[in-house]
Amino acid sequence: MEVLNGKNIVVGITGSIAAYKAAILVRLLTCEKANVKVIMTPLAKQFITPLTMATLSKNPILVDFFNPENGEWNSHVSLGEWADAYLIAPATANTIGKMAGGIADNLLLTTYLSAKCPVFVSPAMDLDMFAHPTTQNNISRLISYGNHIIEPESGELASGLIGKGRMAEPATIVEYLKKYFSSKFTLEGKKIMVTAGGTIEPIDPVRYISNYSSGKMGIALAEELADRGADVTLIKASTSVPVKNGRIKIVDAVSAEKMYVASVNEFSKTDAAVMCAAVADYTPTAISNSKIKKNENEWSLSLKRTKDIAAELGKMKNNQLLVGFALETNDEETNALKKLKEKNLDFIVLNSLNDEGAGFGHDTNKIKIIYRDGTSVEYPLNTKKNLSKDIADAVERNLLNS
Ligand code: CTP
């Protein structure tokens, strides 16, 4: 399907060695029959020539605010209005920082500030620059302004170092745009929070209580919802898999109490909350400041109840969709139904530890979605990635029809 056919795309190129990939990117976009105009920062011209980019894009290259030869004005406003998408690839740490801070000292940046179209940013930099909290904060800010970050890849970098920071491959970027324009962004404008992972309840500086949750299901679901254009906040306890989608805002909340505070804080801002986390029901009554020493006697640990986050949100709920999970070992359906009612959920996703390949740590799962009216839909054993699409479909149906 030629979803990019006739789309007006402004490609912004900044001064990174990855600028050579922009040539292939522009070529791929024109092969998809998109109309491409290229803006380069002054430094970008040192990495790839305007002649190359002009030839490939079939349009003159824009660098300066005006043409020094004839004084013709390069209007960032009309460029921003012309574009159906503004794609900044490669985006250096410097440009990302300026975008986050509202600095507009070149045509690429003024066009960013006047663009009314969706903006896609494909970072390219060394691993340490990418990992630096400043860069990460700037990227979070860009996401919070509604920009789409196309995650850089891991691998060998121009510096010879190996790590995350390499600009996504041109084909991956084109796929991202195609996905966007194939109107799969059905959840655009919706704010969704997802809790994931197993909480950690400290006993003393070296010990804790936790569970086997890997966070795989919750993260897969957060990524699927973000892929559909939702503005996703992931409230994350301990997990064993990375979050790949750069559009997801991550809030670290390792203990049940921290997850409670983060969830309550987020809930009023959301349209839906999906509670995937395995939250400890009990936490030590007191945390010892120093390592607890053994002796010859038996030892028992005093525990107190944690707050039931899903149930609290169920009480706070206005129009939000509230989705829970239930992992059971026996009387599965009865227990799940009880949780659905007691926590005031709209639907609950049941998985049983008795099913082969389902539950903690597996890449696969087998689920049943039970609704408030008692109806249910069973889904056969599948990858968590694929099941996240089924759950996202259920979220979408309930959210968009409410
Ligand atoms: N949940 C929560 N906060 C808790 C406990 C559970 O938000 N303190 C949420 C889970 O994220 C899940 C649902 O409630 O969406 C059910 O969790 P589960 O652990 O299966 O049930 P519990 O209510 O803890 O009941 P039990 O452990 O007795 O089965």
Q: Would you write out the chain's pLDDT as a tens digit for each of its 402 residues?
A: 578 988 899 999 999 999 999 999 999 999 999 999 999 999 999 999 999 999 999 998 888 887 777 767 777 778 888 899 999 999 999 999 999 999 999 999 999 999 988 999 999 999 999 999 999 999 988 988 888 899 899 888 888 888 889 999 999 999 999 988 876 688 989 999 999 999 999 999 999 999 999 999 999 999 999 988 899 999 999 999 988 777 799 999 999 999 999 999 999 999 999 999 999 999 999 999 999 999 999 999 999 999 999 999 999 999 999 999 999 989 999 999 999 999 999 999 998 887 777 777 777 888 999 999 889 999 888 888 889 989 999 999 999 876
CB-based contacts of 280, cutoff 8 Å, min separation 6:
198, 199, 201, 209, 210, 211, 255, 256, 306
State in Å: Cα 74 to ligand 1 middle.
58
State in Å: Cα 278 to ligand 1 middle.
7
Ligand 1, atom 14, lies closest to the CA of: 310
pTM, rounded to two decimals: 0.66
- Ligand 1 atom with minimal separation from the 327 CA: 20
Ligand 1, atom 18, lies closest to the CA of: 326
**Active-site entry in 74, 211, 344, 398:** 211
Does ligand 1 lie within 6 Å of residue 339's CB atom? yes
State in Å: Cα 327 to ligand 1 middle.
9
Ligand 1, atom 20, lies closest to the CA of: 326
Does ligand 1 lie within 6 Å of residue 281's CB atom? yes
Q: Is 173 exposed, middle or buried (0-12, 13-18, 19+ CB in 10 A)?
A: buried
CB-based contacts of 177, cutoff 8 Å, min separation 6:
4, 9, 29, 85, 87, 120
Q: What is the dihedral of CA 164, 167, 173, 177, to 10 degrees?
A: 90
Q: Which two tokens stand for residue 277?
A: 């986390």
pLDDT attached to residue 1: 55
The Cα–Cα gap between 345 and 324 comes to 6
The Cα–Cα gap between 41 and 63 comes to 6
Does ligand 1 lie within 6 Å of residue 345's CB atom? no
Catalytic residue at 211?
yes
pLDDT attached to residue 32: 94
Ligand 1, atom 12, lies closest to the CA of: 325
State in Å: Cα 326 to ligand 1 middle.
7
CB-based contacts of 160, cutoff 8 Å, min separation 6:
none
The Cα–Cα gap between 155 and 239 comes to 23
Number of other residues whose CB lies within 10 A of the CB of residue 293: 7
